[in-house]
Chain A
Amino acid sequence: MSTLKLQIVQDSDEKNATFIFENEDHTLGNPLRYVLSKHPDVSFVGYSVPHPYEEKMHLRIQTKSKPARDVLKEATNTLEEMMTTLKGKMEDALREAEIS
């Protein structure tokens, strides 16, 4: 229904940025935080929903060398791969349950 709007608050250094997600919340924030926290180039990552009445989620990324934006993109791809795999496993598991 409501679609994502992304605003990037870039620090003077492109390694550090805050990404403001409109119309998203913990559902997307926490998995992104998890994937980024396992990324080798990330030195800091955290997310917050500043106010429950505002449909906004802030994601702060600080990296060691690559631009924060590129790292987020990599994380997004990793998350997509994980979710696609997991969905496949869910389908398999359901099929298996039907047979037995």
Chain B
Amino acid sequence: MIPDSSSENYPNLRYQHDKVQVNEDAPSFTMSMNDYATYSNLGLLQPITPDLIQAMAIRVLKNEQFDLLFDVANVDLSIVNAIRRIIIAEIPTVAIETVFMKNNTSVMPDEVLSHRIGLVPLKVNPDLLEYRNPGDPVTPENTLAFTMHVQCTNKPGVDQDLTDKLKYNNSHVYSRDIKWVPQGQQQEEKFAHSPPVPVHDMILLLQMRPNQVVSMDMHAVKGIGKTHAKFSPVATASYRLLPEINLVRPILGRTAELLRAACPLNVFDIEDGPEAKRCVVARPRNCSMCRECIRSGNGSWKDQLPEKDREEVNKSIVLTRAKDYVIFSVESTGILDSSTLVLQAFDIFLQKIKQLNAALSV
């Protein structure tokens, strides 16, 4: 074990290994110190042991269909980041790839409209479709066809002072206007239990005026986020180190009141103490590490304190982040469940490792 703070010779070694200290200007101890021989001069070695593997821990905090929040402890960030990267860029989904514009008399140029249509998330199970590689023929197995035909018209006998939506038919074109055209009976049967539709009905694609028309056919294919962001199955997939706000010395009375009010994310609470009201860290996970609580520049909350108290306060609040504890969040676009995405990411990673193993065995 790395010596903790009670060690005489290395009072800060453990702290520097475990924490990133967030200071007013820049963070310190940001590097990871997990190499096999980092502490070899202390006779300490850090190999990967079964204990280390067993110490990895995951706890799910929020498990909604499209919004997953979980904690990961004792896992190196290289692995956490690999999972994040796979979720964003390597999990397949289906999106519109080609637009055959038959007519477009709207003010929106063809290419701009096509681009917008490509970004619409489609509720399609990617497993039901094969990849279409460059040069492959278009078949019902690798392509879904869609069509959209919308014409804007006047509503007869309506007061011209009304808004566009009331005056005209189809003045607004939405994602729900994109209609699936099954290619053959086989495809229709394959998708029968969940026919391909946009995830959201009311994504505004463009607006039109009377007598304008948009009419097009579309082809959707399977792809991954690495090729185009429209294939990415997540709105966000991110992780952050667990924030820790340490009140090294108690903050009391008026200072406590000021500190509570100064935090824009409402991290602190006031509790009745034995002598005076004292500040406690009630919601550390709210903290975004904005550093307002330790800022001492012009206009900071400390300005309202007497000069002698400021020094005291500066020493009292220490912000750190845990290097081995992350908060991971996955917000799906609605095509696949967030929990499915994470498990699929693990599978894709394991598949990569298998491929490497095979390549090394040759």
Contact = CB atoms under 8 A, between A and B. Distances in A.
Assign chain A's interface to a size class: 35 or more
Contact of B60 (A35, A37, A84, A96): A96
A80 B224 contact: no
Interface stretch (B240-248, B315-323, B354-362): B354-362
Interface string B336-352: 00010011001101101
Contact of B355 (A4, A39, A40): A4
A9 interface: no
Assign chain B's interface to a size class: 35 or more
Chain A residues touching B, majority SS: helix
A30 B339 CA distance: 24
Interface stretch (B11-19, B72-80, B269-277): B72-80
A82 to B, nearest CB: 6
A1 B224 contact: yes
Interface string A17-44: 0000100101110110111011110100
B352 A27 contact: yes
Q: Which of A21, A78, A79 has the most CB of B within 10 A?
A: A79
Given A4-B355, A26-B85, A90-B343, A37 B58 contact: no
A3 interface: yes
A24 B224 CA distance: 14
A98 interface: yes
Interface of A: 1, 3-6, 21, 24, 26-28, 30-31, 33-35, 37-40, 42, 69, 72-73, 76-87, 89-94, 96-98
